[in-house]
């Protein structure tokens, strides 16, 4: 029969373990959105909802820019056929809490490893550690969200992921490891101190710059392509050239922040095999997007947007080929009100079209899906009225 001393020791160790676990759980719960809730007595679920609402309502606005996807050689024999440049756009609202840690809600769209669109949304918490008095910090934490992927039939996939970052109060680079795909994903955030402008009424000097709510514009483009079948590169070393083009459009503001944007874009591209041109195609995109704009300066707006595009690929060489496709489109950009009427506009627009059985030459054909993976970088001028 165990002695009283052994029973007391076992009881004490058990209580210490339970207390330590309880302390860990309590500490973790504090990192959830409810830890920043202005109404902490609404119950667990209510606290989380209130915390998320407060972050979205009162946090600083930031742009999320996907940067790079690393497919490690130890798991990807075809790593050079996977997409490493996840062009896209996202938006976040976040705060630095009283302990100096970061909390944010976010929504982001990007091009996945198979050149399909992938949305992800969720919450992130990062403990930040300042580097002396440099203004820089390192951080580590987690994100909890949900994503949707074409290769999983667009079913919701929970994504509790580790998160590390480095940066300043206004610019950060983040990295995470995604075990489902076994990749390392990097993205950046540019954050703006926009609360005062967001909540304050427009002063006369500012209102005059944005009082004209219809904008027509024209832009020059550089269209980057990265040809893929979705399952890898086409046999025969086929590539599609990145080329210049143009875009024009019209934008109508519905209120202070929201706008509808309709644009048309055109560019010509060479299809090459082994470095030799085998055909030329004209790629056009007619984009209709809903955009969210926010003021970062009295005369400067930044925006993110998304919607649908009607895309067409047409042969300009020997082959008789023309096909169209309706696909998603996302965008991030800026507008500078130089005067009441003159605008300078720049953006990155990411389209996701695919075409089937593309013909080239007299008898050549690329069977299956043909994904140009076109991302355009656009800069031009506009007139507001």
Instruction: Supply the pLDDT for residue 235.
Output: 81
Using alpha carbons, list the distances in angstroms from residue 207 to 261, 335, 373.
21, 15, 39
Contact, 120 vs 145, CB < 8 A? yes
Domains of the chain: 49-195 (2.40.160.20), 211-384 (2.40.160.20)
Contact, 368 vs 357, CB < 8 A? yes
In the chain the beta strands, taken as DSSP E runs, fall at 60-70, 88-96, 102-111, 117-130, 137-148, 156-167, 171-178, 183-192, 214-224, 238-240, 243-253, 258-273, 276-297, 300-315, 322-337, 342-351, 355-360, 364-370, 375-384
Instruction: Supply the pLDDT for residue 8.
Output: 53
**Which residue in the block uniquely carries the two structure tokens 């399952």?**
231
Instruction: Supply the pLDDT for residue 336.
Output: 97
Strand partners, 277: 272
Instruction: Supply the pLDDT for residue 22.
Output: 52
Residue 20 neighbours by CB distance under 10 Å: 10
Quick one: how far is CA 138 from the chain centroid? 22
| Region of 368 on the Ramachandran plot (φ > 0 left; ψ -120 to 50 alpha; else beta) | left
Measured between alpha carbons, how far is 230 from 111 in angstroms, rounded to an integer?
12
Instruction: Supply the pLDDT for residue 23.
Output: 66
Task: Provide the annotated active-site residues.
Answer: 71, 112-113
Instruction: Supply the pLDDT for residue 138.
Output: 97
Instruction: Supply the pLDDT for residue 19.
Output: 43
Single out the residue of 331, 246, 251 nearest to residue 283, CA to CA: 246
385 residues of the chain, pLDDT tens digit each: 445 554 455 444 443 443 445 566 778 888 999 887 777 777 888 999 999 999 999 999 999 999 999 999 888 888 888 899 999 999 999 999 988 999 999 999 999 999 999 999 999 999 999 999 899 999 999 999 999 999 899 999 999 999 999 999 999 999 999 988 899 999 999 999 888 888 888 777 778 889 999 999 999 999 999 999 988 888 888 999 999 999 999 999 999 999 999 999 999 999 999 889 999 999 999 999 999 999 999 899 999 999 999 999 999 988 889 999 999 999 999 999 999 999 999 999 999 999 999 999 888 999 999 999 999 999 999 999 9
The whole-model pTM stands at: 0.90
Instruction: Supply the pLDDT for residue 3.
Output: 53
For residue 125, what are the contacts with CB-CB under 8 A and spacing of at least 6? 31, 32, 101, 102, 103, 141, 142, 143
Measured between alpha carbons, how far is 271 from 82 in angstroms, rounded to an integer?
20
Residue 231 φ/ψ, nearest 5 degrees: -110, 10
For residue 86, what are the contacts with CB-CB under 8 A and spacing of at least 6? 66, 67, 68, 69, 110, 111, 112, 118, 185, 187
């Amino acid at each position: 029969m165990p002695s009283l001393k052994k029973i007391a020791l076992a009881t004490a160790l058990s209580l210490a373990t339970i207390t330590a676990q309880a302390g860990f759980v309590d500490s973790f719960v504090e990192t959830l959105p409810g830890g920043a809730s202005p109404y902490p007595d609404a119950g667990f679920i209510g606290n989380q909802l209130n915390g998320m609402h407060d972050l979205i309502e009162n946090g600083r606005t930031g742009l999320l820019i996907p940067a790079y996807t690393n497919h490690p050689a130890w798991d990807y024999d075809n790593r050079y056929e996977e997409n490493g440049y996840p062009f896209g756009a996202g938006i976040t609202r976040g705060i630095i809490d009283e302990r100096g840690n970061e909390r944010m809600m976010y929504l982001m769209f990007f091009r996945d490893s198979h050149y399909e669109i992938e949305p992800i949304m969720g919450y992130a918490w990062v403990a930040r550690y300042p580097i002396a008095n440099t203004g820089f910090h390192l951080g580590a934490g987690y994100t909890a969200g949900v994503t949707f992927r074409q290769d999983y039939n667009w079913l919701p996939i929970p994504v509790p992921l580790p998160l590390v970052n480095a940066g300043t109060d206004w610019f950060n680079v983040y990295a995470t490891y995604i075990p489902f795909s076994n990749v390392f994903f990097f993205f950046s955030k540019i954050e703006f101190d926009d609360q005062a402008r967001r909540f304050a009424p427009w002063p006369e000097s500012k209102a005059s710059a944005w009082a004209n709510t219809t904008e027509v514009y024209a832009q020059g483009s550089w269209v980057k392509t990265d040809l893929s079948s979705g399952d890898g590169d086409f046999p025969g070393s086929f590539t599609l050239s990145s080329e210049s083009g143009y875009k024009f459009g019209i934008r109508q503001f519905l209120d202070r922040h929201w706008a509808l944007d309709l644009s048309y874009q055109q560019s010509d591209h060479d299809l090459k095999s082994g470095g030799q041109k085998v055909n030329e195609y004209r790629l056009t995109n007619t984009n209709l997007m809903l955009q969210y704009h926010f003021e970062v300066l009295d005369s400067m707006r930044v925006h993110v947007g998304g919607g649908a595009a009607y895309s067409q690929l047409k042969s300009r060489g020997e082959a008789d080929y023309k096909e169209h496709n309706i696909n998603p489109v996302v965008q991030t950009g800026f507008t500078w009100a130089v005067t009441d009427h003159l605008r300078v506009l720049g953006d990155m627009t990411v389209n996701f079209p695919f075409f089937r059985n593309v013909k080239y030459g007299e008898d050549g054909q690329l069977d299956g899906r043909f994904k140009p993976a076109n991302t355009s970088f656009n800069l031009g001028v506009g007139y507001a009225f």
